[in-house]
Structure 1
């Protein structure tokens, strides 16, 4: 996605953002496929006369019961390309998700980007991190803030809200980001070109 990245670079060089690099936050998304798989399994169990299995009580998000290789097939091509281009451009990249399956997501990133997957920060609802700052606690804002803290400590990165871009398919997460001064693009799964248009719109703002 070179055109989108060109716009991001122009934003940084022109001083419209306060950092020279963008932090790009996105999610390896398999939710629709998870829902479809659960419906298929429920239908199979009903046909076999088996009692349906409720999801574990501790889970507050859809879980993926297959392997990382199976989930890999559901990664959206445009998201994969954007992350690849961002890594090649030496931008900071993080995945923020409400899923607790961060180990699975880490394995998916390893399969996607075997040479540099360790550069990607992952924040999910796995209980393995804590954000105690004064920022917003709504949606994915604490996930983003925690990722920025790690990048700041590990790379002395100067990342601000205005130099951060959230790409998400949930309108509420987008609204939470915009209210808190974070750039955000609403991703529409049925319209992959929305990424290009969204980034271009940032350049016109």
Structure 2
């Protein structure tokens, strides 16, 4: 995995900011899904398309700050899968939530795998990536659960995606806090030296 991100100094401030931003956006999405979107189908539809679209944008911006998509293959794949998912969700919404949940399930499995790979790659430069690795693995399990529910006959809604998004928000917060603590320790060691 030789890339620019492996050889240049890690950008601690950027990664912390990125993880905090991902937490805030996911937390807002969860709050809206639990409240307003439950009774406003047009808002729920927009949110269902926006969630993977935001993930694509976030991966693109993060990769751009870390040497570009070409140097961050797992983020490039996550970007592509998220764009395809946003388009597929928009096209599938008229066919019902079971079909949409199926798409979300596949996306959760794939994006979780790519997030796990990104966390493993970043561990070398940043450390404190255990929560991102765990989040990637959990995403795969959540995707499998969504696929199971999508194949059933019980009614499904945006609320069936909320736990996935909520755990994602939690893991981004844990990652941000872990990096903040690691960075503070690193800086205090540098001052003491």
TM over 0.5: no
- Which one has a larger percent helix, Structure 1 or Structure 2? 2
Tell me the TM-score normalized by structure 2: 0.30
Please report the TM-score for the alignment, with normalisation by the length of structure 1.
0.29
